[in-house]
Amino acid sequence: MRFVSGLFLFCLGFCSLGAQGVKEVPELGKPFQASGVVGAFVLFDREADTMFVWNEVRARERFVPASTFKIANSLIGLDLAVVRSVDEVLPYGGKTQRLKAWEKDMNLRDAMKASSVPIYQELARRIGLERMRESVKKLGYGNAEIGEVVDRFWLDGPLSISAMEQTKFISRLFDAKLPVSGEAVQAVKEITALEKTDTYALHGKTGWHFEGKLGWWVGWIERDGKVFPFALNIDMPAEEDAAKRIPLARECLRLLGKL
C-alpha cells in the first residue's frame, strides 16, 4: 500500500511539472544523513531544464507551504494594491503570538524577515477570500486549494505544494510568467534578499509547519548571470531541528557548485 501511495505521488508530481529532466544526485544525501534528518532537496537548472534532487519521490510530494507562502502572498497583495508598498505598516492585531517578535506592527519588509504570521494574516484578510482564491489559481501554486478560511490555508492546509513545484513557481517569477505586475515582482525580490557577495546573490524564505513538524527553505541563487531556484523540506520532530534547514540547504548548494 505504501509503495502504491508513493507511486501515485510520483506520477502526480511528474504530470504537473512538465517534461524537464530530473537527476538524482546521491552525494546530496550525505548532509541529510550527517544531520540525522529525512527530507528532500531540489535545485532547478533552468538553462539545462533539469532538476538536481535528493529524494525524488519526496521532492514530488506536496506539503503545506507554511511561511514560504509569504512569497506568493506578498506578490498578490502588492499586485492588488491592498498595500501601497513593502514599507506600509500593517497592524498585528494586539493578540498574544507564538513568538514575542511577532507582537508588533510591521511593514512587509520587516515581516518577511521576522516571518511574522499575524502581519501576513492581515494582508490575506485585506486581499479577501475570493480574490485570494482566484489569485492562487492564476499563480498555479501547488494544488491551488485554499478552502474557506482566508488567513489559515497556508498554515493548516488545504494548500499544499511540492519542492519541485516550489522551484517551478520561482522560475515562472523570473520568466515574467506570473500574472502580477513587474513592480510587485521586483519588490518581492528585494525583501527576500539574504546575502550578496562578489560571486552570488542569495534569496530565500523559511517555513515551519508546526502541526506537521515540517520545515522548508525555498529561494534562489543568482550567479554568472543565471538564476537557480531551490527548495528544501525536512521532517522536524524536535523544535531544535529548525536550525538545520538553512545549513543543510547551503551544503547542498555548495555540493552543486552554487555557493
Cell of 176: 515574467
Candidates 5, 16, 35, 67; catalytic one: 67
- 214-223 sheet: strands from edge to edge: 21-24, 50-54, 39-45, 226-235, 214-223, 200-209, 193-196
Counting DSSP H helices and E strands in the chain, the numbers are 11, 9
Rg (the chain; Cα; Å): 17
- The Cα 76–Cα 131 span in angstroms is 9
Using alpha carbons only, give the angle 171, 136, 184 rounded to the nearest 5 degrees: 60
Which residue is associated with the grid cell 505544494?
161
Of 161, 164, 219, the C-alpha closest to 42 is 164
> How many CB atoms are located within 10 Å of the residue 174 CB?
16
**Identity of the residue numbered 44:** F
Strand 50-54 and strand 21-24: pairing?
A: parallel
Active site annotation includes 67: yes
- The Cα 79–Cα 143 span in angstroms is 21
Q: Residues with catalytic annotation?
A: 67
